Amino acid sequence: MGRSHFAIFIILLNFLQILDPSFSLPLCTDSRAPFQQKTPLAFCSYNGTSCCNSTDDKQLQTQFNAMNISDPGCASLVKSVICAKCDKFSAELFRTDSVPRQLPILCNSTTSENSTKSSQTKNDFCSKVWTTCQNVSIISSPFAASIKSNSTKLTDLWKSQTDFCNAFGGASGDGTVCFTGEPVTLNTTTPLSPPGGLCLEKIGNGSYINMVAHPDGSSRAFFSNQQGKIWLATIPEVDSGELLDVDDSNPFLDLTDEVHFDTELGMMGIAFHPKFSQNGRFFVSFNCDKQAWPGCGGRCSCNSDVDCDPSKLPTDSGSQPCQYQAVIAEFTATGSQPTQAKSASPKEVRRIFTMGLPFTGHHGGQILFGPRDGYLYFMMGDGGGIGDPYNFSQNKKSLLGKIIRLDIDSTSSVEEITKLGLWGNYSIPKDNPYTEDKELQPEIWALGMRNPWRCSFDSARPSYFMCADVGQDKFEEVNIISKGGNYGWSEYEGPYLYTPSKSPGGNKSMSSINPIFPVMGYNHSDVNKNGGSASITGGYFYRSMTDPCMHGRYLFSDLYAGFMWAGTENPEDSGTFNTSQISFNCAQKSPIDCTFVPGSSAPALGYIFSYGEDNNKDMYVLASSGVYRVVRPSRCKYTCAKENSSAVDDDIPSSPPAASPPSAATMLTGSYSNFVVILMSFMLILACWF
């Protein structure tokens, strides 16, 4: 292949990498979750879950009245079109994640014959609008506004129905939805049978709390423990019988001198910059003791801004109020080529965030980069104490009990830091919810959390931001996190009312919360029948095909009880899940022999701290007893009809072809999928031709 041909190949490859999956679950055009209407909207007639409140409804009515449409049939259609803003799938109808639209995609039968997503997609609504409204005068027409014209009739702008529907029509067969004149409904699919079980192989003995796949797409991953060390390890191929290749004596980074380790304190999160392979930047979330380390100082989260007096805080385990801090710091890999670096400098490049904790518990601490926006998300619990006694979680000026979103690629001026009351060296993304809710502290993305423990973005559908939240004494929950979402604590524990010591926010009624309820979870009574504790550990959507019967399900577990669950979405992309408890076992000829619960065939995992996902989308369980990988169900004698039948009866079947490093092509969903197949085929032709 010559240089020019190779350049073409690289350009095409880079073009693939900029494509982005479409929205999936119900989301509004402002990226918020739809909310439950207390009463039906007066004008747009949406009831139940909607993206409009009464104020939005009145604005749409005013807009419609100004159009002065004389034809009743056309008026009814146009009303439904502008009211689509209220649909719970409005973000997908308006395709706001790629090219913002003035109007929703109108269903067009000429391109929707194979649609499966919407139950009404064969309705040729686009043609109906054209036929009914083509010669009707519409003042300030929303159709004309989309192309910045003052014309009042459709025929003034488009020569034919075909031209009109090329501009506004579309189908849902491409993995998205379109508007039929009625609220979007999804086909209910046949519920999948619960998987036979989860088969695990033990590949390492280390006890880790975080696993992050190397950003270079290789078979390497970073592992960290709570005491303060990070290791770079090589992951063996599935079914190879080999062990996790990690040198315990040679960590990538050692911060044990700075990190304060205790039951709920330590190194809590690691995140690698999306461009780590070029810039070597990565970030660590940890706790420190300001009495033991001079570099730990920071202001207390209990302060006058949130109506909290630190002098009145009770001491916790002998500590002083805000003696322990939550810290995010930036570090960098050594050397000029980050992908080849085997260590990092222990010296902080920059202190991003420091905040004193009122108690020693409930502070989450995980950090993640958003796959779409590149911003850093920080999961912070309510600070501790039974029932959030100082009501931090609902206090919009407190960062406790929140999901925080920061721009770490730019910094604020001293004046901005002072004006906004920021907690460190970062800036605020321009679309954070505080721009719409002036009561919110600018860093806040979502609120009403108790102790978020392990969150993840779905690698196939990044709009699914899943967060497990540890309960008080009744319910453990999994939430889909959305912009500005309020998840109810401490007025609600999961779906149940909870009686806190104070009213929400200190001065608001419970009705002002509009909580978003969990999509999955379990009652404490389900797991602590023998007097044990309950504490959820969030996982991932399983996206590997190593276990094809687990593909697409969300996996999570209980930290103490050793139970696991699989959540199956039905209908697909609805945000509605059926949850089933699943059995798990240790694979035959596991690289490391598993120990088993006495009197049981179940492996003794110990505490299930976290989950991990590698660059091939294989999934891992990080437990106190070691590192376990999900493998083919046949290795545990589980039945999966989708698994290669020729391999089912083998103890150690031949290894399947190794999955290639993840690329945008493997992540695409929706309207890009067919295009990707064509483009990839074209690339292969180019490669063979040249």
Q: Choose among 551, 368, 374, 546: nearest CA to 460.
A: 551
SS3 string of 403-444? EEEEECCCCCCHHHHHHHCCCECCECCCCCHHHCCCCCCCCE
Per-residue model confidence (pLDDT) at position 48? 85
Per-residue model confidence (pLDDT) at position 194? 79
Percent of residues in the chain assigned helix, strand, coil, to nearest 5: 20, 25, 55
Tokens 């770079």 — which residue? 232
Per-residue model confidence (pLDDT) at position 96? 66
Would you mind telling me the total number of residues written for the chain in this entry?
690
Domains of the chain: 24-170 (no CATH), 209-567+607-636 (2.120.10.30)
Residue 445 phi, psi (nearest 5): -105, -40
User: Is the distance from CB of 327 to CB of 288 less than 8 angstroms?
Assistant: yes
Per-residue model confidence (pLDDT) at position 513? 83
Measured on CA atoms in the order 481, 30, 167, 137, is the torsion positive or negative?
positive
Per-residue model confidence (pLDDT) at position 39? 84
Tokens of 244: 């996790």
Per-residue model confidence (pLDDT) at position 195? 85
Per-residue model confidence (pLDDT) at position 24? 63
Q: Return the amino acid letter for 242.
A: E
Question: Helix, strand or coil for residue 90?
Answer: helix
80 vs 76: CA distance, rounded Å: 6
End-to-end CA distance of the chain: 5
Chain centre distance of CA 380: 15
Query: Rounded to the nearest 10 degrees, what angle do helices 673-689 and 3-18 cross at?
Result: 170
Which long-range contacts link 305-311 to residues 24+ away (Cβ below 8 Å)? Answer: 305/397, 305/398, 305/421, 306/390, 306/392, 306/395, 306/397, 306/398, 307/395, 307/506, 308/358, 308/390, 308/392, 308/398, 310/358
> DSSP character for 196?
S
Per-residue model confidence (pLDDT) at position 110? 55
Residues contacting residue 605 through CB under 8 Å, at least 6 positions apart: 562, 621, 623, 624, 625, 628
Residue 581 phi, psi (nearest 5): -70, 140
114 vs 172: CA distance, rounded Å: 8
User: Is the distance from CB of 179 to CB of 107 less than 8 angstroms?
Assistant: yes
Chain centre distance of CA 48: 25
552 vs 358: CA distance, rounded Å: 39
Per-residue model confidence (pLDDT) at position 115? 38
Residues of the chain with pLDDT under 70: 1-24, 96-99, 110-122, 172-175, 189-191, 315-319, 505-511, 529-532, 645-690
Per-residue model confidence (pLDDT) at position 500? 81
Tokens 């996902």 — which residue? 613
User: Is the distance from CB of 214 to CB of 230 less than 8 angstroms?
Assistant: no
- Angle, alpha carbons 601-603-608 (nearest 5°): 145
Per-residue model confidence (pLDDT) at position 531? 57
Q: From its phi and psi, is residue 444 left (phi > 0), alpha (psi between -120 and 50) or beta?
A: beta
Strand blocks (E) in 498-615: 520-523, 536-541, 554-558, 564-569, 577-582, 584-586, 608-613
